[in-house]
Every structure is written in structure tokens, then in C-alpha cells.
Amino acid sequence: MKRHTAPVLLGLLGAVIATACLTACGSDQDGALPPARTGPVAAPVATPSPPPEPGKNGKSPDPRAKTPPPLPDAETQAKYLAALTAIDADIVHNKPDKAVEHGRSLCQTIARSPDDRKRQDDIAAVRFTSPAHPDGFGPTKAARIRDTVHTHLCPTY
């Protein structure tokens, strides 16, 4: 019975507050409603949206950082996977879809931090792992992975 009391009381309290607000805001002191407006109604003034906040480097954030690039076509995907396999056969480890998704995600990092290759490499090292390399493939291979992703999945970033 106690479980049902609190929601009922909250509902009643909300109704009382809403009624009080409507009564206080909807009439003047003698209880009459405010007069209806007559005449032309002014069109709402459009306010420009504020510019995006600059990132750490003072530049506006790249809109590509919010969404990954589109899925690559079959030919591009094949070249991308072959390039990753040439770095280390265990990078793809029989999960090509996962390698593509990790690459697309890394593209967002590239767009967010275009001048920070160390950050890009660090993200590549964390994102590209395998059962045999749970801590990544090391800084040299991470840089090569980043270059491969950039070349094949997001060359315009």
C-alpha cells in the first residue's frame, strides 16, 4: 500500500502546482483574462546559431569527427585489408569487418586531432589489438596502421 501512496501524492502535488501557475499567470487581479491581441503579429526573428566552439588548438572542430566515414566499397576494403595484413597478418585476425570499423573510428580521431599524430598513433595502438597482441602492435606498427587507415578509409581527412 505504501508503494502506491508516493506516486499518488506526487501526482496531486503536480496538479496543485500546475493549477496555481495557470491561475497566477492567466489573469490579472480582478480575475479577468488579459485582452486578446489585435493587429499584425510580428514574425519571429531568426537568430543565427553560434559558431562551434574551438577545439584545443583554437580551430573549429571538424564536423567529420562526429560520424565515421562511409563504408568503403569492396575494392577499397580489399586494398585496406591487404595493407593491414602486410604490416602484420594478425592485425585483421580473420575479422575484416572489425578491422574496417576500427579504421573508420580512427578516422574520427584523425578528424578531431589532425595535427596530433601521437594521439592518432596511441588510439590506433589501443583500437587495433588481437588475442596474440592484447596490448596492441607497438608504436611503429601503430603509426603504419594509422597511415594505412588514412590512405584507404579517409584520405581527405
Whole-angstrom Cα distance, residue 108 to residue 153? Answer: 11
pTM of the entire structure? Answer: 0.61
Q: State yes or no: pLDDT of 105 exceeds 50.
A: yes
Domain boundaries, the chain: 63-152
Q: Which segment of 2-6, 43-47, 109-113 scores lowest on mean pLDDT? A: 43-47
Cβ pair 62, 111 in contact under 8 A: yes
Long-range CB contact pairs, 79-85, < 8 A, 24+: 79/152, 80/148, 80/149, 80/152, 80/153, 83/148, 83/151, 83/152, 84/145, 84/148
- In the predicted model, what is the mean pLDDT of the chain? 78
Q: Which segment of 50-59, 78-87, 102-111, 146-155 scores lowest on mean pLDDT? A: 50-59
Per-residue model confidence as pLDDT tens digits over 55-99:
455 555 667 778 899 999 999 999 999 999 999 999 999 999 999
Closest CA to 85 of 75, 97, 99: 99
Closest CA to 137 of 93, 101, 107: 93
Model confidence at 51, pLDDT cuts 50, 70, 90, reads very low
Give me the pLDDT at residue 132, please: 95
Whole-angstrom Cα distance, residue 19 to residue 32? Answer: 16
